[in-house]
Structure 1
Amino acid sequence: MVRAGVAAALPALAGIALGHSAVAATATLGAFAVVYGEGRAYRVRWRVVSIAAAALVFLAGVGAAVGAPVHAAAAAGNSALGNSALWATVLILTMTVVVAVCAFVVDGLRLGAPGAFLPLLTVEIASSLPALGVSTTEVLAWTASGAASALLVSMSGFLVRRRTPERAAVAAAVAAVGAALSDSSSPTSRRDAVRALHAAWQCLHDAALVGRDHALTRALHAAHLRCASMVDGRDADHASDTDDLRPQVPLPRPSIRYRLGRAAHPRGRSWTIVARLLVACPAAGLLALSLDVGRPDWAVITAAMILHQGPDRVLGTYRGLHRFFGTVLGLGLLAVLATLDLTAAALVLVVALLMAGTEAFLVRNYGVAMVFITPLALVVGSLGTHMDLGVVTRDRLLETLLGVAMALVVLWTVLPRSYRRILRDADEQVAHTIGRIADTRDPVAVAELCHDLEFDLHASTTAAITSAHTDPAWTRTLWPEHHHLHELGYRTLARHLGPSM
């Protein structure tokens, strides 16, 4: 949280000191990259943040380049209404393509939150800046300065305490296991413990500590065994994250090529997400445009943010409610800020605080995160210039309503039984990988296939949970076969890998 605020504040305050107060807050767009490094070992964090930073700089340039003719056409008046609508449509389609591509990559690689949200938010905010006289070159330069700040801030602890991310991940896992053991009847505490254990193991894999005699590895392994003993057989009658916790230490993620290859399967969940985005985003944007609401891009980003994190209709519906009510509260916070006569430096500090709040809650509670995201997007998108609060509130609420409504309609009507196809495909892939392992004699190839199998088992569990949320009766009929396949998969891993430590 602190890193997010500092990454946004440093280049913006430097810009104010150099006399560029009007555009310095644009650096926040590049500073978003700091979020993608959180929880990562320093050994890989620099690479992750660098890739995210490069993508954000590129997308900021795309947003500004597309937004410039949109606002130029709008400023030309009634004589250019047709041209204005044409360029607004181009912006809507650009945002749709961006979120579809980013959602596919994020889901395929199983990167989790914040997912495709910040890249699309960057495009949306950058597209509004040309209306304030900010050139595409300036947007690129200030976004790049924020990106550089994000990288420096993300890696700032490396020289002092290079194992801090690993220690934090292990401590969180040990604490989560302790909480689960003290309240073993709570499915939520068991689920949180399993997720914390998997996250900690991946952090130690990234740090190249797994397989070494290290205090952190020993502490995590002890907590892992305690949790595995607690959940063993407890959830045998329904889908749960605890299905993926066995005594063996989780393997590192398979290669990027393998994960994206699996996502490219037309029957998989990633394409379901993309298909829904390609319907909902243009529909929401064009509906807002036809109603002559000021910012159709807001409707696009609302629809996209409800749909981009997965095909689960129940969780998506909750996310839509979080989006709407979080936006309402965020507009209230914006109204409070609008009453203050903030200097440029004070405005940067407010942006930094909003950035920190966004980072703190984006993964934990999307509704609370929207309370910070709404004023953040509007403040950075206006660069502190005067806003007609009544018009902004009206347009934002209306377009949020349009985006939420369109997303929920698409969520429940487009590919309504995709959860069945996704689960069957995931289970078929598990069976296929088990068969390949049985037919392979090369130890190196078997080890690689075991990495793939564990990933496929996780994907199958996720598909089963989504199916159980959506259609518990149907999922129950498939459960015995699914559960037997999982038991076979984990026995295969135990036989070929043996004890991990």
Structure 2
Amino acid sequence: MKAVAEIFTMGPGNKDHHPALRCAVGVFVPLITLTLIGRLDLAVFASFGAFTGIYGRNEPHSLRFRSQLRAGGFMLLVILFATLTARVAQAWGIGGAEYSWFLTAATTLVAGICSVVVAAWRLRPGGSLFHIFAFAAIASIAAQPPLWEAMLVTVLTTAFCLVVGMSSRVLKSHRTPWKRPPPIRHTSPERRAMWLEGAGYLVAAGLAGTIATVVGERLGFGHTYWAMVAAVVPLVGHSTRHRVSRGIQRIAGTVIGLVLLAGILWLNPAPWAMVLVIAACQFGAEMFIARQYLVAQVFVTPLALIATLLAAPVDPGLLLRDRIVETVIGAVIGVAVVVAPVLWRRMSAGRSV
């Protein structure tokens, strides 16, 4: 019941409009540029490159620059790995169900490895959710654009977000002292927790991807990586109750977000208007992501799906159906992975009494 109660609780604000505005500008400028030059096939690369601005949310400028530089550089590697994976699979003639299973396995490895790297660098937000999403979404694109164009857009977007992240230094009232960030050192318990967390991401993402792929093959659902993304959402939290609450909020926020998205698509907006919607949703997501995950998820859902539609137009009805089905599968599995160790410890304690 306490997990359900958290759905109706709003956390305190902390100048959330500052990072929200930075993130909105960071995604809007690259996407509107691609719209104006008629290259929306590259929109997905700009969208994921813009994830750079999400990191270092309320950190001092010098620390934020290090966080965003590391996060952006690491995301570049993930995106490069994703597009090379798709190209190698096409060259080797791997497709259909065979590629779905291959992609699930590769994304599972990305989930575990990226989780450990993010924890080692103490990046916030933690976990590998963004890396799972970026890798699987890009590796799923059948018609890959030229490699140099894709990476150029990603690099330029990353660099732009770094500039935006430092932009408030022009205002003396917002400027923080520039000093070299201290090196990151980990204690033995922290290193152990880091690897255990990576194992949790491996299990949650792998299990969700496997079940979603099996269900998708039998019932005709696609976008199985959405289940993997949803499965790792409950793994981020300071308590079991909070993690279970995030899983519930993921499902509820997705449902409400899909209703909002259906209304937007009913208006049949032009591409430039869809870019405006993406920027507005990015602003809304960052405004509430640290305060109320359900509300943030209402903005995240249309944000993710509109970006998908811009890059590769598909039947919106099928897209909405896949989103809710895969989200439910992933969130349920993620909650199960969180709760299972707790139940096991209680059962073991009961047997020892």
Asked if these proteins are the same fold (TM beyond 0.5), I'd say: yes
What residue is the counterpart of 1:301 in the other structure?
229
Q: Does 1:143 align with 2:154?
A: yes
What residue is the counterpart of 2:329 in the other structure?
402
* Whole-angstrom CA distance in 1 between matches of 2:318 and 2:98: 23
Contact 2:284 2:296 in 1 (8 A): yes
Matches within 5 A, 1:214-229: none
What residue is the counterpart of 2:203 in the other structure?
279
Q: Specify whether residues 208 and 95 from structure 1 end up closer, same or farther in structure 2 by C-alpha distance, changes over 3 A only.
A: same
Matches within 5 A, 1:422-433: none
3-state SS in 1 of match to 2:104: helix
Contiguous gaps of at least 5 residues in structure 1: 167-205, 210-252, 420-470, 472-501
Match of 1:54 among 73, 79, 91: 73
3-state SS in 1 of match to 2:85: helix
Q: Does 1:106 align with 2:118?
A: yes
What residue is the counterpart of 1:392 in the other structure?
319
What residue is the counterpart of 1:37 in the other structure?
56
Q: Match of 2:105, as an amino acid?
A: L
* Whole-angstrom CA distance in 1 between matches of 2:259 and 2:280: 16
Map Cα deviations across residues 316-343 of structure 1 (whole Å, 9 max, x no partner): 1111101111111121122122123322
What residue is the counterpart of 1:134 in the other structure?
145
Contact 2:260 2:302 in 1 (8 A): yes
TM-score of the superposed pair, with normalisation by structure 2: 0.81
Q: Who wins on radius of gyration, i.e. which is larger?
A: 1
Q: Specify whether residues 21 and 283 from structure 1 end up closer, same or farther in structure 2 by C-alpha distance, changes over 3 A only.
A: closer
Q: Does 1:63 align with 2:73?
A: no
* Whole-angstrom CA distance in 2 between matches of 1:380 and 1:69: 25
* Whole-angstrom CA distance in 2 between matches of 1:11 and 1:401: 32
Matches within 5 A, 1:99-498: 99-113=111-125, 115-128=127-140, 130-161=141-172, 164=174, 166=176, 207=178, 255-256=183-184, 258-259=185-186, 262-265=189-192, 269-291=193-215, 292=217, 293-307=221-235, 309-310=236-237, 312-383=239-310, 385-414=312-341, 416=343
Displacement, 1:71? 8.1
* Whole-angstrom CA distance in 2 between matches of 1:322 and 1:316: 10
Map Cα deviations across residues 70-121 of structure 1 (whole Å, 9 max, x no partner): 6899xx9xxx8xx522322222222222222232233455444354332322
Q: Let me know the Cα RMSD of the aligned residues.
A: 3.1
Displacement, 1:410? 1.9
Q: Which has the higher contact order (CA 8 A, sep 6+)?
A: 2
Contact 1:357 1:372 in 2 (8 A): yes
Identity of aligned residues (%): 28
* Whole-angstrom CA distance in 2 between matches of 1:24 and 1:281: 26
Contact 2:52 2:68 in 1 (8 A): yes
Displacement, 1:412? 1.9
Displacement, 1:408? 2.0
Displacement, 1:122? 2.0
